[in-house]
Amino acid sequence: MSRPVVDLAMRKATKQIMVGKVPVGGGAPITVQSMTTTKTADVEGTLAQIYALYAAGADIVRCTCNDLEAAEGLAQIVPRSPVPIVADIHFHYEMALAALEAGVACLRLNPGNLRKPEEIKLVASEAKDRGVPIRIGVNAGSLHPELYKKYGNATPEAMVESALRELALFGEVGFDDVKISVKASNVPLMIESYRALSEAVNYPLHLGVTEAGPPPSGIVKATAGIATLLAEGIGDTIRYSLTADPVEEARAGRQLLEALGLRERKGLDLIACPSCGRAEIDVIALAKEAQRRLEETGYPIQVAVMGCVVNGPGEAREADLGIAGGKHKGHLFIRGKIVRVVKEEEMIDALLSEAEKLMEEGVEARLAAADPNAEAEARADREALFELRGQDANLSSQKIERIRKRLGGTE
Ligand code: SF4
């Protein structure tokens, strides 16, 4: 429901490809990807995970295709999946051909471990005949040995050259239905590699920090790399590579895009103050409880939980809805305007109930339905708190006064 203030949607122009029915690049919404952790041969288990990823915000899901059973599994998974399926291929070109036979929407090839030109060209040729795109998935940890020798290490130049070599082979069979990734677990290397790649080609780019590790540090690393590039207009599809339930990957990807204003809000955005000495409530406990209960509703709204009524409603005036802690009371506000004052023990229920009405009736109607006494009651509550705590907990005005005197100010 909340409105963008700054627009990061300016993207570098890239060619558009279709991964099944999902467009990637060329101005299409940036997509979220994840990868299943089940054995692909376990059709029901893999489909259950794909549905969970879809519910968490994944637009495209990758499954490994590492043996015959996996390829056979793909043939059953593809027609029942709610999202396009990408087959992940390492070492064996036959697995790429089998995955194409299974009807996947895209292949991912790693140029570092599928190296024979004739095999690569055969796969590209077959993909071309079927209209299936390929992701050239370069990885800093598995470059062609020649490139390590030439550059001495996995440098941005080495990563880009790996992608360009693969593109050249594809070009020999007239195939360019591609997207490209140059992932590294080292974030600065990843950023520089994508920047260089973005200069060199106009194919859609799949962003990711590989092997980012478990949350929360994995999420921080992946976000540092992916968000930096997205803010520069680079990147058309993203994946968080976390050592965690892949649902967390999909959720993180979706949340990042929503936070950057690059995708419509699909779920809750809970903002909460960090709390401080002014807080009249246990902000951490209240925010957790609000998050748990609001997430269950699936409402796509921004809700604020603020520790005090002195600063809370003003600081969170952009939120669709919020609650701020007063003295044994909660001030419920919509877009910064107090609409009701409730007892402390009723804060969460009041927040939930107002969220439901907000979704049903809209902001204007709920502002019109505000308790006419709410503002006056809130003001009295704030004034009582000023009396009790003082308006300036940090004694800032006294300090400023002393500084001015010392510097010979006039006031
Ligand atoms: S809203 Fe109030 S309690 Fe929360 S950080 Fe700001 S001043 Fe402190």
Q: Are residues 218 and 275 in the same domain?
A: no
Q: For residues 53 and 48, what is the distance between their CA atoms, to the nearest angstrom? A: 9
Look at residue 5 and tell me if it is in a domain.
Answer: no
Question: Is there a single domain that holds both residue 197 and residue 162?
Answer: yes
Q: What HEC string does 257-285 produce?
A: HHHCCCCCCCCCEEEECCCCCCCCCCHHH
Q: What is the pLDDT of residues 245-300, one digit of tens each?
A: 999 999 999 999 999 999 988 888 999 999 888 888 899 999 999 999 999 998 99
Same domain, yes or no: 108 and 255: yes
Measure the CA–CA gap between 38 and 236, rounded to whole angstroms: 26
CA distance 411 to 75: 79
- Name the more confident of 249 and 380: 249
Q: Is 306 in the pocket of ligand 1 (CB under 6 A)?
A: yes
Q: Tell me, yes or no, whether 228 and 90 share the same domain.
A: yes
Question: Can you give the residue range of the structural domain that contains 118?
Answer: 17-259
| Higher-pLDDT residue of 97, 6 | 97
Token digits of residue 110: 């790693």
Inter-residue contact 333 to 382 (CB < 8 Å): no
What average pLDDT does range 350-376 have in this prediction? 95
Query: Would you say residue 409 lies in a domain?
Result: no
Say if 282 falls within a structural domain.
yes
Q: 97 and 185: one domain?
A: yes
CA contacts within 13 A on the Cβ side of 145:
1
Ligand 1 lined by 305 (C-beta under 6 Å): no
**What pLDDT, on a 0 to 100 scale, did the predictor assign at position 391?**
56
Could you tell me if residue 11 is inside a domain? Answer: no
Pair 236, 288 in one domain:
no
Q: Are residues 170 and 203 in the same domain?
A: yes
Residue 408 has pLDDT above 80, yes or no: no
Q: Which residues pair with 394 in a beta bridge?
A: none
Q: Report if residue 354 sits inside a domain.
A: yes
When pLDDT is cut at 50, 70 and 90, the band that residue 411 belongs to is: very low
> 37 and 67: one domain?
yes
Return the ligand 1 atom nearest residue 279 CA: 3
Last residue of a domain, one of 201, 230, 259: 259
Distance CA 122, CA 109 (A): 13
**pLDDT digit string (tens) for 48-77?**
999 999 999 999 999 999 999 999 999 999
Shared-domain flag, residues 55 and 102: yes
Cα four-point dihedral sign 84, 87, 93, 97: negative
Query: pLDDT (tens digit, 9 = 90+) per residue, 113-142?
Result: 999 999 999 999 999 999 999 999 999 999
Q: Which of 271, 273, 331, 389 to mutate to test the pocket of ligand 1 (most atoms within 8 A of CB)?
A: 273
Of 229, 259, 289, which residue is a domain's last? Answer: 259
pLDDT tens-digit readout, 293-320: 999 998 999 999 999 888 888 888 889 9
- With a CB cutoff of 8 Å and minimum separation 6, the contacts of 58 are 32, 33, 34, 83, 249, 250, 253, 254
The rounded distance, in Å, linking the Cα atoms of 240 and 223 is 8
- Find the 341 Cα to ligand 1 centroid distance in Å: 18
Which pLDDT score is estimated for 309?
Answer: 87
Lowest mean pLDDT among 103-117, 349-363, 380-394: 380-394
Q: How many domains does the chain have?
A: 2
Q: Is 401 part of a structural domain of the chain?
A: no
The answer to whether residue 2 scores a pLDDT higher than 70 is: no
Residue 6 lies in a domain: no
pTM for this prediction: 0.84
Does ligand 1 have an atom closer than 6 angstroms to the CB of 307? yes
Q: Is the CB of 311 under 6 A from ligand 1?
A: yes
Of 142-151, 215-224, 372-381, the range with the lowest mean pLDDT is 372-381
274 CA: nearest ligand 1 atom: 5
CB atoms inside a 10 Å sphere around CB 376: 12
